[in-house]
A = this chain, B = another copy of it.
Amino acid sequence: MNLTEYLFTRLRELGVDHTFGIPGDFVLPVYAVQDAFGMPTVVCSHEPGVGFAADGYARIKGLGVALVTYGAGALNLLNPVACAYAEQSPLLVISGGPEVAMRRPEVYLHHVVKSFESQINVFREVTVDAAILDDVADAPEVIDRVLRNVISQKRPGYLEIPRDRVHSIVAAPIGPIAADPFAPVVHEAALEEAIIEIRAMLAKAERPALYVGVGVRRHGLTAKVVELAERLRLPVATDVLGKASFPESHPQFAGVYMGALGDQQARALLDGSDCVISLGVLRFDTNTGFWTDRIDPSTLIAAEPDLLRVRHHRYDRVPIDRVVEELARLPADSRRPQPRFAHPADSPVVAAEPGSALKVAEIIGLLLGLDQSLYSFVADVGDCWFIGLELRADVFLAPGYYASMGFGIPGALGAGVADPSRRPFALVGDGAFQMTGTELATMVDAGLRPIVLLLNNNSYGMLEALDSPRTYYHRRPWDYLGFARSLGFTAERATTAGELRFALDRAEAAEGPYLIEATVARNDLSPFLSRIKAHLAEVKKAAVVLG
């Protein structure tokens, strides 16, 4: 087989059924091989959409692939790859490249910037492993190495295939990708000691709680963590980035923690706990409600991918999957009742005057009324994201750390291709929609039937909420219905709660893709954003901390 077939053979073994990309001259030979191999590419409208779609796919399937040309293709993908790096998403970039024979200082080719290495230098800044497959002899080994690093570290990788290496003959893979011979071995004695310590802490704790982060989803530990929570009767909160890493319809789920600024039930749970077990949580500015988290560090147990922190000491080479496995084997705790939190959908939605303008609270209420198990929810950045944090979702994707606008529509495309059993449900604001909304067309091309809820407040509303009105926050309203229809969607507008309820009914019943433009007043904010705004105003740091 040739080098390219080797790569696609490996990708298929790892569960990849589609790539996302845009063809261009330097990558055409790779496309032709892939086509003959029988793996389709979802051809997107623009490379930023390629990257977010492949990222969305990766977050669900465990690996996503972007297949692009050199220069104008790959460099246009950088921001989504940076997002995937920050948020630990296993996204592989495959770029075509100039022939090895042409890589000479005196040869100038189109799509090249400073040097033939400019592109890989750029990608080294946003990947865990990057290689040019210029040496046929070691190409299979290098492919395996990059894939292993992407899969194990849950972060992007980069492979560049020079045009004169696409068809180079290599040996077919023998067996699965070998483990890294230099990988640290699990420290079993440390693990044992740690579990004994944790068990003692739990035995003394009166208000223990689980704090679930994105690492649980990325390492495929969700089912195990449910088992653990049920067995030990622990109430559960997630962080913002890890939302839906624990199934949110579960009665033990309290809400999304974001320090003082997130769900208040989750805040009371974690800040009031005397033993928090944190699993795969990243600690950064927005995730902690701008460092308003008050989890007691002297009672905190924190599992990270490769180590475990307990109070003020750490156990090295004790990985999160083994910790979860061992904790789920502890004897069931019968001292406490099984925790149970009310589902917010059971509370009545804020009543409004019939015909009065649609309120954010009403939107949240109506979304909570949907059968959440039917959908992969995907949120963009803006108040649509904070609205999304109120859902009780099984699948919820959002760029909750890197916070790049433009993720929503292409992310929902990737989610829809990755899991056809759930309809993608995108929550997107008008500012973000103006960035990557054209990928609606790709959703149509891919045969998906998403529901897109476009929350239109005619502005970069989150920025305005945290600053003050400025002309440059205004977004002229496009004819979004005409826009969506021009790309193949059915579309309607909702300006009241009643209209939105019926629009959602029609969208749910629709055979095809459906967009609802919901108009929102600029000063009508979600509970999360309201708390953030109040906090930042209070500390008088709005200009410094978040704009």
Contact = CB atoms under 8 A, between A and B. Distances in A.
A403 B125 contact: no
B108 A85 contact: no
Interface stretch (A69-77, A220-228, A324-332, A507-515): A69-77
Contacts of A487: 478-479, 483
B75 A76 contact: no
A44 B23 CA distance: 26
Interface in A24-54: 24-26, 28-29, 31-32, 35, 41, 43, 45-48
B111 A434 contact: no
Given A48-B76, A109-B284, A486 B478 contact: yes
A335 interface: no
Contact of A285 (B79, B108, B401, B404): B108
A132 to B, nearest CB: 15
B476 A445 contact: yes
A46 B48 contact: yes
A463 interface: yes
Contacts of A114: 85, 125-126
Contacts of A26: 547
A286 B487 CA distance: 34
Assign chain A's interface to a size class.
35 or more
Given A25-B463, A31-B470, A48-B48, 14 more contacts: A23-B463, A28-B543, A29-B543, A48-B76, A71-B402, A71-B403, A75-B82, A76-B79, A118-B126, A122-B125, A476-B488, A478-B486, A481-B486, A483-B487
Interface of A: 23-26, 28-29, 31-32, 35, 41, 43, 45-48, 71-72, 75-76, 78-79, 82-83, 85-86, 99, 108-114, 118, 121-122, 125-126, 163-164, 282-286, 381, 401-406, 434-438, 441, 444-445, 460, 463, 466-467, 470-473, 476, 478-483, 485-488, 543-544, 546-547
